[in-house]
């Protein structure tokens, strides 16, 4: 799975370097970059300076137990040495990683002075790694406080508000924002600004490749420094084709499918949804998702062509048994590498992921969205939020007549709740190596996976 659609230059290795004061969403941004790149099949690894510092202090679990905020004081020479050392070790590990990997490394630290960034840049360039800086600049105290509260909430053993405030104060003394006019004008960077007067700006400087622009574009779409949000997902109700075990097509809902469509508003209500808070449904352009959305008490239902089911090409309208009989080699090939297998005249999961990119970008910006779409598409979306590797994502079982509630949090794992409608439906899950369908594994098998796998 080394090939991908973005790295057109050979050996193009990038290091994304986060810049900014503590509690500006840098770790959130780092984790998101990793999620996104992994999802589009680009190798990515995060090197978290905090982790290296904790290791050095012999305190793997928690820097905050031994280290008080004075540690971050610039005049604390001993501490400064430890911090610089953390960068050295992170860079050493990164160099090793690049010896066997092509892709993107993310350096998650504060990198808060020009001198330090210059040092990083020179060191990376020497190893033919191209640095890209991503700065999160925010002087909006309300947003920062909100972020501190989320941090405290996500880790019960960490210190209080006061500790973070002191830590930030110490960093502010030495912090220098990226400067696009003088000595940093030749750096590749994006500077994201959220200001107390409501101004939101991004300055982009010297983008040099398609992959760099993809990363920066993605980062600009992120709603960082925001509290948790909920996204609802559902497959369409059982369709006539589902009952006939046929794939693809554009059939209508079965009677049971219609019952499910009628029940969704009730399920949402039971979960605390009230019609006052405006929710939008996104569907595909196919009849079965349109019919599933028809009873929703929402102001807006938005059909996206990008949410249409994986195109099975010549196999559209066939059952798995028929496919196995007519195209035995293809059938096996698909089981062997389901993510990359492309139906004759149709699509692969990988194709679906690429066409879903704009949907995911929009999803990052939005909340209160219910997506009603199809099995393969939901697998791709689910894999994004749950960080499921792409060779496994096509095998995730997503049952019919079940509402999926995803709580996306800025720190920590994404929480999944399955809300069963208790309306019977056929199973459309196909195990590897067989052409018969039937539920076996379940989406919940994967729900222990974390959205944000790299710890703070």
Residues of the shown chain interacting with ligand NAG in the complex, contacts defined by CB under 6 A: 283, 290, 293-294, 301
Least Å distance, CB 237 to ligand NAG, is: 13
Comparing C-alpha atoms, which of 239, 365, 355, 240 is closest to residue 308? 355
Q: Compute the distance between CA of residue 352 and CA of residue 49 in angstroms, rounded to an integer.
A: 35
Instruction: Say if residue 60 carries a ligand binding annotation.
Output: no
Least Å distance, CB 285 to ligand NAG, is: 9
Q: Which of 63, 116, 212, 236 is catalytic?
A: 236
Q: Compute the distance between CA of residue 157 and CA of residue 150 in angstroms, rounded to an integer.
A: 13
Q: Among residues 188 and 283, whose Cβ is nearest to ligand NAG?
A: 283
Question: Cα–Cα–Cα angle for 176, 178, 182, nearest 5°?
Answer: 100
Least Å distance, CB 235 to ligand NAG, is: 16
Instruction: Say if residue 235 carries a ligand binding annotation.
Output: yes
Phi, psi of 321 (to 5 degrees): -60, -45
Q: Among residues 290 and 428, whose Cβ is nearest to ligand NAG?
A: 290
Instruction: Say if residue 242 carries a ligand binding annotation.
Output: yes
Least Å distance, CB 324 to ligand NAG, is: 35
| Rg, the chain, Cα only | 24
Comparing C-alpha atoms, which of 435, 404, 407 is closest to residue 421? 404
Tally the C-alpha atoms within 13 A of residue 375's C-alpha that lie toward its C-beta.
Answer: 22
Q: Compute the distance between CA of residue 204 and CA of residue 282 in angstroms, rounded to an integer.
A: 31
Q: Which of 130, 291, 309, 340 is catalytic?
A: 309
Instruction: Say if residue 433 carries a ligand binding annotation.
Output: no
Q: Compute the distance between CA of residue 315 and CA of residue 334 in angstroms, rounded to an integer.
A: 12
309 in catalytic set: yes
Instruction: Say if residue 240 carries a ligand binding annotation.
Output: yes
Beta strands in 357-412 (DSSP E): 369-373, 402-408
Q: How far is CA 18 from CA 48, 107, 109, in A?
A: 10, 6, 6
Instruction: Say if residue 288 carries a ligand binding annotation.
Output: yes
Torsion (CA) 10, 394, 253, 347 in degrees, nearest 10: 30
Phi, psi of 45 (to 5 degrees): -140, 140
Least Å distance, CB 301 to ligand NAG, is: 4
Task: Please report the sign of the dihedral spanned by the C-alpha atoms of residue 245, residue 247, residue 251, residue 255.
Answer: positive
List all residues 6 or more positions away from 2 whose beta carbon is below 8 Å from its beta carbon. 102
Q: Among residues 192 and 293, whose Cβ is nearest to ligand NAG?
A: 293
Least Å distance, CB 405 to ligand NAG, is: 21
Q: Compute the distance between CA of residue 120 and CA of residue 127 in angstroms, rounded to an integer.
A: 11
Q: Among residues 35 and 290, whose Cβ is nearest to ligand NAG?
A: 290
Catalytic residue positions, numbered: 236, 309
Binding residues for substrate: 235-242, 288
């Amino acid at each position: 799975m080394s090939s991908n659609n973005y790295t057109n230059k050979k050996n193009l290795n990038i290091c994304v370097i986060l810049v900014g004061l503590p509690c500006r969403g840098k770790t959130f941004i780092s984790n998101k970059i990793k999620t996104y790149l992994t999802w589009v099949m680009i190798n990515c690894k995060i090197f978290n300076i905090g982790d290296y510092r904790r290791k050095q202090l012999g305190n793997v679990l928690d820097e905050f137990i031994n280290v008080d905020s004075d540690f971050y004081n610039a005049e604390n020479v001993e501490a400064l040495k430890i911090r610089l050392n953390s960068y050295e070790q992170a860079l050493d590990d990164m160099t090793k990683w690049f010896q066997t990997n092509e892709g993107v490394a993310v350096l998650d630290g504060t990198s808060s002075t020009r001198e330090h960034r210059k040092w990083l840049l020179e060191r990376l360039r020497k190893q033919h790694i191209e640095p890209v800086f991503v700065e999160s600049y925010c002087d909006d105290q309300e947003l920062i406080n909100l972020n501190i509260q989320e941090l405290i909430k996500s880790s019960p053993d960490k210190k209080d508000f006061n500790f973070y405030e002191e830590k930030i104060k110490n960093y502010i003394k030495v912090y220098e924002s990226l400067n696009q006019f003088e000595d940093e004008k030749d750096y590749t960077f994006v500077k994201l600004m959220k200001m107390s007067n409501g101004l939101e700006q991004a300055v982009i400087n010297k983008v040099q490749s398609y992959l760099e622009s993809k990363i920066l574009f993605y980062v600009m779409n992120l709603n960082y420094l925001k509290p948790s949000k909920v996204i609802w997902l559902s497959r369409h109700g059982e369709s006539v084709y589902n009952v006939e075990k046929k794939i693809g097509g554009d059939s209508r809902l079965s009677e049971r499918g219609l019952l499910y469509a009628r029940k969704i508003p009730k399920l949402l209500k039971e979960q605390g949804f009230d019609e006052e808070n405006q929710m939008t449904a996104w569907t595909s352009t196919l009849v079965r998702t349109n019919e599933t959305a028809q009873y929703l008490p929402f102001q807006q239902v938005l059909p996206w062509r990008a949410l249409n089911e994986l195109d099975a090409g010549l196999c559209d309208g066939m059952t798995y048994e028929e496919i196995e009989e007519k195209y035995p080699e293809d059938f096996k090939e698909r089981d062997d590498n389901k993510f990359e297998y492309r139906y004759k005249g149709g699509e692969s999961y990988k194709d679906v992921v690429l066409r879903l990119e704009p949907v995911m970008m929009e999803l990052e910006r939005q909340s209160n969205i219910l997506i009603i779409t199809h099995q393969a598409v939901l697998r791709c979306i689910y894999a994004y939020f749950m960080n499921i590797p792409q060779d496994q994502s096509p095998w995730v079982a997503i049952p019919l007549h079940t509402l999926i509630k995803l709580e996306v949090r800025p720190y920590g794992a994404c929480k999944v709740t399955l809300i069963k409608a208790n309306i019977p439906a056929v199973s459309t899950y196909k195990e590897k190596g067989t052409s018969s369908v039937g539920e076996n594994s379940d989406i919940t098998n994967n729900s222990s996976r974390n959205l944000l796998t790299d710890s703070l």
